[in-house]
Structure 1
Amino acid sequence: MTAFRFGVVAAAQQGGARWRDTARRAEELGYSTLLSPDNLHIPTPTAALATAAAVTDRLRVGSFVLASPLRTARAAAWEAHSLTTLTEGRFELGLGTGLPSMREQAEELGLPYGSAGERLDAISATIDHVRRLDGEAHTHTPVMVAAGGPRARRLAAAKADIVTLAGGVLTPRDEFAAHVEELRSAADGRELELAMNIFVVGDEVPAWMRGFIQADAQALIENDSLTMLRGGVDDMAAELERRRAELGVSYVSVNSAFIEEFAPLVARLSGT
């Protein structure tokens, strides 16, 4: 089985000192990657990730995810390749089509939001540009695609290194399993690292998170939601091992609100 590794998702919205502390703490706790989201209401992830890499030694940094409506494909590739170069290979490019709310943000930037197909085409073009730039410099930027639909899964299977299984917070386990089979079939032997993001660690959903995912703890528990991880450390470790065995998920990220609560799992499972 592919060895576990873990990421922490955080936004650099509380100032430079707090952000640098978050990066250092993630490295101290053994997380593989610090991941930064993308929207116009927080500092741009490229600047944030360059800062995080500068104050750490081993920590990888990644976008989670660059939204295709917020920059052209060539601009996204330029930023990505620049980070790969400046971090000496510690950057991972995460790409996604963006939330519907980003229509207004795209308009503010003077860019088209585009149809679902056009936004996926932009992701495909970004990957092609990155591969060209990397090839010229003899580097390789790992690309992660957040794949929530069939076309996104086909694109990820063909061009990505890492695929985040995206879907609704109440998506059943067997549906995720079907998505994995679809990915494996489309990849036709290409090796893919499968990833999943955990929104909630424990039995309670913080109020701010409840507003974001539009579900409470009872709904998550009743639907066996894979966006929640609960119980003791033994229980949570067993659940992650189950997901790896059944779904092939070995790269797990967690919101920074749970960076300390999740740390015992990082210590136990990293590299195993």
Structure 2
Amino acid sequence: MALPNMIPGTPGTALLEWAVRAEERGFSSLAATDRLVYPGYDPVSALAAAAGRTSRIGLLSNVLIAPLRAPVELAKQAAGLDQLSGGRFTLGLAPGVRADDFDAADRDFTDRVARFDRDIAALRELWAAGTVGPRPVRGHVPVLVGGVTAAAAERAARWADGWTAPGLTPDRTSELADRVRKAWSRAGRPGRPRIVMLLRFALGADVAEAADAFVRDYFAVLGPAAEDFVRDTPRDAASIRAALRAFADCGVDEVVFHPTVGDPAQVDRLADVTL
């Protein structure tokens, strides 16, 4: 279950209530996503606040845009959140796809992927050195890498503990997850990569209009294609359960439901459908 940290107008108290309800209802993880040029909460701040109100549920950035931050800053933030949560944090990272975020941060958009590779390589060294923040509980913070390219699969296999997918169809998810597993095997990594999938949702006729408006606005940069995201957002029990079965068949380890409205009642509605 993701926090509604990107949904404009969501009160901070609602985020905290959301976190408490998600843990009480038995969700495995609590996630937060990242945009700079959008009226939402910073994901690290949101997850740190959630850490203070919970004790069991995992915490996941899904995802942070790594090249917007210096690697030293990123390493310190992640290690601090990991310690504050008692080792519950997983750091999901991606290079980013929206130029306006980079313009606002005064960072070069064109070389972000090269910087992303360098920064991921530096994280474990910084955590091991222990010079920029507290040492993570497990010695390092588990890392998931996002992206849909062949390079992203190789990056996940070389530097990370798994792969996190954006909202994709089950067929596309299966194809890319298989690519990650093959890259993992070629790299000689033991075990198997953790595979995480993002799925937006809305439950209830009373929130349908607000949910559609948020999705339409969030993906407005895509033009008419934003309507595809509106149409494909599951909004009833049958479609959500069907999606879960389809992603389980793809070998996905965890589906992270990202809300499209900020009402904490969505936590209970989704729990009633899925748990």
Q: What is the match of residue 162 of structure 1? A: 162
**Contact persistence 1:96–1:123 (CA under 8 A):** no
TM-score (norm 1): 0.77
TM-superposition CA deviations, 1:152-198 (whole Å, max 9, x none):
121012222231123xx5x5543332212211110015411211111
Paired-residue identity, %: 26
Q: What is the match of residue 149 of structure 1? A: 149
Distance 1:143 1:105, change over 3 A: same
- CA drift of 1:248 comes to 0.8
Letter in 2 for 1:240: L
> 1:30 is paired with a residue of what secondary structure?
coil
Letter in 2 for 1:11: N
Measure, in 2, the Cα distance between the counterparts of 1:70 and 1:242.
Answer: 34
Letter in 2 for 1:63: S
- CA drift of 1:132 comes to 2.4
Q: Is 2:64 the counterpart of 1:63?
A: no
Gaps of 5+ in 1: 1-6, 221-227, 268-272
TM-superposition CA deviations, 1:57-93 (whole Å, max 9, x none):
2122222222122211121011101111121101111
Distance 1:102 1:129, change over 3 A: farther
- CA drift of 1:116 comes to 4.4
Distance 1:69 1:114, change over 3 A: farther
TM-superposition CA deviations, 1:213-248 (whole Å, max 9, x none):
41247853xxxxxxx435535x63344123212x11
From 198, 208, 218, the counterpart of 1:212: 218
Q: Is 2:2 the counterpart of 1:8?
A: yes
Measure, in 2, the Cα distance between the counterparts of 1:42 and 1:157.
Answer: 31
Q: Is 2:193 the counterpart of 1:192?
A: yes
Q: What is the match of residue 251 of structure 1? A: 254
Q: What is the match of residue 241 of structure 2? A: 237
Measure, in 1, the Cα distance between the counterparts of 2:137 and 2:161.
Answer: 17
Distance 1:255 1:164, change over 3 A: same
Considering only aligned residues, what root-mean-square deviation do their CA atoms show, in Å?
A: 2.9
**Contact persistence 2:127–2:136 (CA under 8 A):** no
Distance 1:117 1:51, change over 3 A: closer
Letter in 2 for 1:34: L
Which stretch of the first structure deviates more once superposed, 93-102 or 133-142? 133-142
Gaps of 5+ in 2: 220-225
Q: What is the match of residue 128 of structure 2? A: 132
- CA drift of 1:261 comes to 3.2
**Contact persistence 2:95–2:113 (CA under 8 A):** no
- CA drift of 1:129 comes to 3.7
> 1:249 is paired with a residue of what secondary structure?
coil
Q: What is the match of residue 121 of structure 1? A: 117
Measure, in 2, the Cα distance between the counterparts of 1:133 and 1:46.
Answer: 22
Measure, in 1, the Cα distance between the counterparts of 2:72 and 2:199.
Answer: 31
Measure, in 1, the Cα distance between the counterparts of 2:18 and 2:108.
Answer: 34
> 2:253 is paired with a residue of what secondary structure?
strand
Which stretch of the first structure deviates more once superposed, 126-135 or 190-199? 126-135
From 249, 271, 274, the counterpart of 1:263: 271
TM-score (norm 2): 0.76
